[in-house]
Amino acid sequence: MSQALESTQSFVDRRAAVPTAGSPGVERRQFANSHQELSPDAAELAHAIDQYKLVHRRRFITFEEMLTVVKSLGYHR
């Protein structure tokens, strides 16, 4: 048996697996809506940061970029 065929047969597609009692039932994705348990203000900030990341094609943002987002929401010192 070839090595490529062997590795294909041992591959386990965990995305298709049924969640067990100890595993979380929610699929983890980069842009999943994980803001459900936040206060309205925190959810607004989280959504604004997510939008900034999408528009600017950024996976992570710097503190300066976060400050820009916060100020765009009308917050000031």
To the question of pTM greater than 0.75 for the whole model, the response is no
Report the pLDDT value the prediction gives residue 77, as an integer from 0 to 100: 86
pLDDT digits (tens, 9 = 90+) for 18-53: 666 655 555 455 555 677 889 999 999 999 999 999
Q: Which residue has the higher pLDDT, 39 or 9?
A: 39
Which DSSP string do the residues of 20-73 spell out, in sequence order? -TTS-SSPP-TT----TTS-HHHHHHHHHHHHHHHHTT-SS--HHHHHHHHHHT
CA atoms within 13 A on the CB side of 70: 11
Q: What angle do CA 33, 36, 41 make, to 5 degrees?
A: 105
Report the pLDDT value the prediction gives residue 66, as an integer from 0 to 100: 96
The H or E element spanning position 16 is none
